[in-house]
Amino acid sequence: MIEAAPAKVNLCLHVTGQRADGYHLLDSLVVFADIGDVVEVRAAPELSLRVIGPQARGLPVGDDNLVLRAARVFAGAAGAEITLTKNLPVASGIGGGSADAAATLRALARLWAMPLPDADRVLRLGADVPACLVGRPLRMQGIGERLQPLPDLPAAHLVLINPGLAVATPAVFKALPAKNNPALPDMPGFANAVEMAQWLAAQRNDLEGPALQLAPVIGVVKQALATAPGCLLARMSGSGATCFGLFADPAQAQLARAAIRAARPDWWVACGRMLR
């Protein structure tokens, strides 16, 4: 069984509070790109994980690996040989680990002919895993457990850039000066990607400021995207350090990817269609 694990992009991310147990409350619009990792599972006597691909070196393979943790969530789990092709940078704010866990859940449910684990077990794997399990545009609220499908979004393309830097999510949240920020307004319908970008520009990623303090290169990445011809919006995704540029024209998105990759061969740069 083979499952795609598409990159998750936070088009905007508002931090609206913090619970007594320390978990932060979020209000975020989440979309996915046709860029990502791939999970393949085969029947086997025991559970095992092999990681290959261009970003494999950044991911330790141990019992705490999120893919193996996802496999063990199934009650009465059997054996399986899991191969993860790692294309997305590790700890980069685009939900790579969560997408891998979600793809593992979908693949093993098919392989073992079992229902997906219940929502509470899925959420315990990580706040982004429930959204990644759905894999379509969503409004994500609470600590990640409240998911509302978004109406049809206009066609758009995303250029993703990571400067080769892993930013620790707990450190970003710790540096956040205010935890009780305004929630998102209701999202209107959009006739095209330009209208969508104009509305998104009035929203925020509340984690961008703290992440910039910890990793100023994020500002350089955003500027490279913002000045690319055809870029409608440049913003950081999640807790960073990956930033995205939103484009209406796929040709301009590809040109931006090529130009930025040529200028900064040390950066991870990818381009893909926003999944709708």
Residue 108 has a pLDDT of 97
pLDDT at 75: 78
Same domain assignment for residues 124 and 166 = no
Task: Give residue 239's identity as a one-letter amino acid code.
Answer: S
Instruction: Give kind and range of the element (H or E) at residue 102.
Output: helix 96-111
Write down which residue in 146, 171, 188 finishes a domain: 146
The lowest-confidence range among 138-147, 162-171, 233-242 is 162-171
Residues 127, 158, single domain; the answer is: no
Domain count, the chain: 2
- Which of 92, 37, 93 lies closest to 70, judged by CA? 37
Tell whether the model's pLDDT for residue 122 goes beyond 90. Answer: yes
pLDDT confidence tier of residue 238, bands split at 50, 70 and 90: very high
Same domain, 105 and 126: yes
Of the candidates 8, 27, 37, 206, the residue annotated as catalytic is: 8
Query: What SS3 state is found at 252?
Result: helix
112 and 201 share a domain?
Answer: no
The last residue of one of the domains, among 112, 146, 180, is: 146
End residue of a domain, out of 123, 146, 169: 146
The token duo for 190 is 């959009």
Band the pLDDT of 166: cuts 50, 70, 90: confident
pLDDT for 59 equals 85
Asked if residue 15 has pLDDT above 90, the reply is: yes
Kindly give the interhelix angle for 66-73 and 96-111, rounded to the nearest 10 degrees: 40
Q: Which of 27, 37, 128, 206 is catalytic?
A: 128
pLDDT tens-digit series, residues 188-237: 999 999 999 999 999 999 999 999 999 999 999 999 999 999 999 999 99
Predicted pLDDT at 76: 75
Model pLDDT, residue 63: 82
pLDDT of residue 249: 98
Domain span including residue 165: 152-275
- The upper half-sphere exposure of residue 272, i.e. CA atoms within 13 Å in the direction of its Cβ, equals 18
Q: Are residues 39 and 157 in the same domain?
A: no
Using one digit for the tens of pLDDT, what is the confidence trace for 53-85?
Answer: 999 987 878 888 999 999 999 977 789 999 999
Same domain, 8 and 138: yes
Residue 13: which CATH number?
A: 3.30.230.10
Q: Are residues 122 and 166 in the same domain?
A: no
pLDDT at position 61 is 84
Residues 123 and 15 in one domain: yes
Q: Is 249 a catalytic residue?
A: no
Q: What is the pTM of this model?
A: 0.95
CATH number at residue 264: 3.30.70.890
Concerning whether 8 is annotated as a catalytic residue, the answer is: yes
- Of the pLDDT bands very low, low, confident and very high (cuts 50, 70, 90), residue 181 is very high
Domain identity same for 169 and 237 = yes
Give the residue among 39, 126, 131, 113 at the shortest CA–CA distance from 74: 113
